[in-house]
C-alpha cells in the first residue's frame, strides 16, 4: 500500500503551505471561495465509512490537518473529512485542501441508483461557516469517530462515487427494490469483505442457551462468555426470514419450538432492513437464494404486524441498522410476555460497545450459525460464510463521471482503503465487520506476516458476484 508519511514529504508539505493546520468550517468556506478547495462526494453503505475515514487519516491527510464533521452527535446520516493532501496527485500539489463528504443515509442503494441516473438532487452534507463546534470536539482531529464540528445543513448535488455492501447489479434486482437498470456504465470493483451476523433479543438468547445446555435452567440473565454463545441452524433462520415458519400453531409445530422446546405460542418476530439496503440484499442472497435462483424462489416475507410475544408472524422493516437494533433490543426485548425476535445486522455493530468509557447494552446478541461464530477469524479461515464483497463505483461517462485528479484520488481510495494495514488501524468494533479480500495480497496467504494474516481472508466468492459460493482462493 502506498505510504505517504516520510519526512521528505512532510517537509515538502510545510514548504508548500507554510505550516500545516486543520481545515475548520470557516477555512473550508474560505478555500472554496478562493477556488482552491477540491470536493469529493461519496454516498452509500454506512458500514464502510470508517474504512474511508481510516485511510484518509492514515495516508492522505497531512498530520495535523484533519477535521471531522458529523450531521449530528451520532453522525448517523452524514459525515465529512477535510484535510490537506499528504502527497501530490497530478496537478493537486502537496497541501491542496480537500473535502470528502460521505452520505450514509439510505444505505447501499444510494451508492448505486443515483450514480446510474446521474441524480442531481441527492443531498450531501454542507460544510461551511454555519457549522457549529461539537460538544467536546477537537480540531485538528485525532479520532475519526469524534467530530470536531456538527453540520446539519445539506446541499443538492451529484455524487462522484458510491459504496455498496454488494455489487450494483444485485441491488438493481427487484427483490432489493432496484429498477432493473443497466449497470454497464458503472466502473465498479470489490475492495473489502463485509461480514454479517444473525442477532436475537436477549430473551431468546437466554432461552437458546438453556435449550442447548450452555447455562443452568434456572438462569435469569444471559451468560456473556463466548464459550456460551448459542447457535441457530441456517435452515431455521432461512425459514423464519422467508415466512415458512409460523408461531402459535400447535398443529404444524413449526415455530420457535423447533429450537426452544415448548415455545409453540411464540410469534416469529423478524426485525429486518427495508428493500434497498445492502444488509437486506446480502440477507436475501444468503438465506433466500434471491435473486440468484430467480425472484420466485424463497421470496422473503413482506408481512406486517406488531412485535409481540404471541401470534404467528410479524416483520418489521427498518430504514436503518439503528432501526433494526431498536426493534430487537427495545421493542422485542421489552415486549410483555417474553417475545422472541431475530434479525440480520452487520458485524461492525456491537451491542455491548464501550462509549466514552461506559459499556452499552442494546438488548440483543449475535448467535452462531451452524455452530460457527460470526467472527473475522472464521471468515478468514473459510468456516463462516455469511460474507459478501463490498464495492466502490462511479460513472464511466456522463455528467457525473469523475475525471482527472478526482478520478485518480477515487482509484487510490478504492485500491487501498480495504487493505489489512488500514483495517488494523480502525476501531475494534469495525474491525469485526471487515476483512481484506484475497485480491489485496500478492502471493500465498500462508507466506503473509501474522499481522497481515489476522485481517486478510484467503476465502472469497467470485469477485463482485455474491451469488457464487465461498471458496479458498489463496
SS (H, E, C) the chain: CCCCCCHHHHHHHHHHHCCCCCCCHHHHHHHHHCCCCEEEEEEECHHHHHHHHHHHHHHHECCCCCEEEECCCCCCCEEEEEEEECCCECCECCCCEEEEEEECCCHHHHHCHHHHHCCCCCEEECCCCCCEECCCCCCCCCCCCCCCEECCCEEECCCCEEEECCCHHHHCCHHHCCCCCCCCCEEEEEEEEEEEEEEEEHHHHHHHHHHCCCCCCCCCCCCCCHHHCCEECHHHHHHHHCCCCCCCCCCCCCCHHHCCCCCCCECEEEEEECCCCHHHHHHHHHHHCCCCCCCCCCCCCCCCCCCCCECCEEEEEECCHHHHHHHHHHHHCCCCCCCCEEEEEECCCCCCCEECCEECCCCEEEEEECCECCCHHHHHCCCCCCEEEEEEEEECCCCCCCCHHHHHHHHHHHHHCCCHHHHCCCCHHHHCCEEECHHHCCCCHHHCCHHHHCCECCEECCCCCCCCCCEECC
Does the pLDDT value for residue 11 go beyond 80? Answer: no
The confidence score (pLDDT) of residue 18 equals: 38
- CA-CA-CA-CA torsion for 56, 39, 63, 163, nearest 10 degrees? -10
pLDDT attached to residue 19: 47
Buried b vs exposed e over 370-389: b needs ≥16 C-beta within 10 Å? eebbbbbebbbebebbbbbb
- pLDDT, average across residues 313-335: 92
Q: What is the pLDDT of residue 272?
A: 93
Q: Are 42 and 163 in contact (CB under 8 A)?
A: yes
Confidence category of residue 190, pLDDT binned at 50, 70, 90: very high
pLDDT given for residue 9 in this prediction = 38
Mean of the pLDDT values across residues 263-291?
Answer: 93
Model confidence over 245-265: pLDDT tens digits? 999 887 888 999 999 999 989
Q: What number is the average pLDDT over the span 118-134?
A: 96
| Side-chain-facing half-sphere of 262: CA atoms under 13 Å | 4
227: pLDDT strictly greater than 80:
yes
Size (the chain), residues: 474
pLDDT at 281 over 60: yes
Left, alpha or beta for 294 (phi > 0: left; psi -120 to 50: alpha)? left
User: 1 versus 354: which is more confidently predicted?
Assistant: 354
Cα–Cα distance list, 317 to 198, 266, 324, 369 (Å): 15, 20, 8, 22
**Confidence grade of residue 276 (pLDDT, cut at 50, 70, 90):** confident
- Flag the least confident range among 117-121, 421-425, 444-448: 421-425
Other residues' Cβ atoms within 10 Å of the Cβ of residue 425: 15
The pLDDT tens digits for 75-110 are 989 999 999 999 999 999 999 999 999 999 988 999
With 90 as the cut, is the pLDDT of residue 418 above it? Answer: yes
Share of the chain above pLDDT 90, in %: 76
Band the pLDDT of 2: cuts 50, 70, 90: very low
Cell numbers 502537496 correspond to 94
Question: Is the Cα dihedral 80, 81, 85, 86 positive or negative?
Answer: negative
pLDDT at position 280, please? 93
Per-residue confidence (pLDDT) for residue 12, from 0 to 100: 39
Residue 353 has pLDDT above 50, yes or no: yes
Task: Please report the pLDDT score of residue 380 as a whole number.
Answer: 95
pLDDT value of position 46: 84
- CA dihedral angle for residue 53, residue 54, residue 56, residue 57, rounded to 10 degrees: 110
Q: What is the CA radius of gyration of the chain?
A: 23
Lookup: cell for 314: 410479524
pLDDT at 269 over 80: yes
Q: Does pLDDT of 7 surpass 60?
A: no
Report residue 464's pLDDT band, with 50, 70 and 90 as the boundaries: confident
Domain ranges for the chain, please list them.
7-194+390-472, 195-380
What is residue 49's predicted lDDT score, i.e. its pLDDT? Answer: 86
Given a cut of 60, is residue 15 above it in pLDDT?
A: no
Residue 22: its pLDDT value, please? 83
Range 195-380 has CATH code 3.40.50.800 = no
**pLDDT confidence bin for 20, thresholds 50/70/90:** low
Provide the pairing of β-strand 364-369 with 154-156: unpaired
Whole-model pTM: value is 0.88
Q: Which of 147, 182, 165 is nearest to 106 (CA)?
A: 165
Name the residue with higher pLDDT: 179 or 164: 164
Residue pair 38/97 in contact by the 8 Å Cβ criterion: yes
Q: What does pLDDT average to over the chain? A: 91
Please state the rounded mean pLDDT for residues 57-75. Answer: 94
Q: Is the pLDDT of residue 317 over 60?
A: yes
Q: pLDDT tens for residues 290-309?
A: 999 988 788 877 677 789 99
Amino acid at each position: 500500500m502506498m505510504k505517504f508519511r516520510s519526512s521528505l514529504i512532510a517537509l515538502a508539505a510545510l514548504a508548500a503551505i507554510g505550516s500545516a493546520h486543520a481545515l475548520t468550517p470557516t477555512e473550508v468556506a474560505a478555500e472554496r471561495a478562493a477556488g482552491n478547495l477540491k470536493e469529493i462526494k461519496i454516498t452509500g453503505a454506512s458500514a464502510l465509512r470508517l474504512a474511508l475515514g481510516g485511510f484518509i487519516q492514515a495516508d492522505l491527510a497531512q498530520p495535523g490537518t484533519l477535521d471531522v464533521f458529523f450531521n449530528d452527535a451520532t453522525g448517523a446520516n452524514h459525515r465529512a473529512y477535510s484535510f490537506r493532501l499528504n502527497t501530490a496527485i497530478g496537478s493537486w500539489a502537496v497541501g491542496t485542501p480537500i473535502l470528502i463528504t460521505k452520505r450514509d443515509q439510505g444505505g447501499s442503494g444510494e451508492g448505486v441508483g443515483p450514480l446510474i441516473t446521474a441524480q442531481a438532487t441527492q443531498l450531501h452534507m454542507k460544510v461551511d461557516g454555519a457549522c457549529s463546534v461539537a460538544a467536546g470536539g477537537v480540531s485538528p482531529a485525532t479520532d475519526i469517530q469524534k467530530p470536531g464540528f456538527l453540520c446539519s445543513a445539506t446541499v443538492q448535488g451529484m455524487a462522484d462515487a458510491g459504496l455498496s455492501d454488494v455489487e450494483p447489479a444485485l441491488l438493481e434486482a427487484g427483490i432489493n427494490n432496484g429498477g432493473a437498470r443497466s449497470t454497464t456504465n458503472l466502473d465498479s470493483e470489490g475492495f473489502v469483505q463485509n461480514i454479517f451476523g444473525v442477532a436475537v433479543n436477549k430473551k431468546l438468547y437466554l432461552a437458546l442457551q438453556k435449550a442447548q445446555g450452555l447455562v443452568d435452567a434456572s438462569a435469569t440473565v444471559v451468560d456473556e462468555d463466548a464459550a456460551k454463545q448459542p447457535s441457530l441452524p441456517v435452515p431455521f433462520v432461512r425459514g423464519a426470514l422467508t415466512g415458512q415458519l409460523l408461531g402459535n400453531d400447535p398443529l404444524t409445530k413449526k415455530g420457535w419450538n423447533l429450537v426452544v422446546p415448548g415455545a409453540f405460542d411464540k410469534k416469529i418476530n423478524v426485525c429486518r432492513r427495508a428493500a434497498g439496503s445492502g444488509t437486506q440484499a446480502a440477507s436475501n442472497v444468503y438465506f433466500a437464494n434471491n435473486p440468484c435462483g430467480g425472484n420466485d424462489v424463497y421470496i422473503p416475507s413482506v408481512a406486517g404486524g406488531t412485535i409481540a410475544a404471541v401470534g404467528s408472524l410479524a416483520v418489521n422493516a427498518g430504514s436503518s441498522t439503528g432501526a433494526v437494533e431498536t426493534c430487537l433490543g427495545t421493542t422485542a426485548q421489552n415486549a410483555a410476555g417474553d417475545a422472541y425476535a431475530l434479525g440480520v445486522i452487520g458485524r461492525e455493530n456491537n451491542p455491548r460497545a464501550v462509549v466514552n468509557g461506559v459499556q452499552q447494552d442494546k438488548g440483543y446478541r449475535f448467535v452462531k450459525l451452524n455452530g460457527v461464530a460470526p467472527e473475522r477469524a472464521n471468515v478468514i479461515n473459510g468456516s463462516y460464510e455469511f460474507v459478501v464483497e463490498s464495492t466502490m463505483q462511479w460513472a464511466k461517462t456522463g455528467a457525473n463521471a469523475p475525471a482527472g485528479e478526482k478520478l485518480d484520488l477515487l482509484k487510490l481510495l478504492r485500491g487501498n482503503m480495504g487493505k489489512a494495514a488500514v483495517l488494523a488501524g480502525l476501531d475494534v468494533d469495525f474491525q469485526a465487520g471487515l476483512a481484506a479480500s484475497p485480491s489485496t495480497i500478492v502471493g500465498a496467504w500462508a507466506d503473509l506476516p501474522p499481522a497481515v494474516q489476522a485481517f486478510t481472508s484467503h476465502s472469497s466468492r467470485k469477485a463482485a458476484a455474491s451469488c457464487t459460493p465461498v471458496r479458498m482462493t489463496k
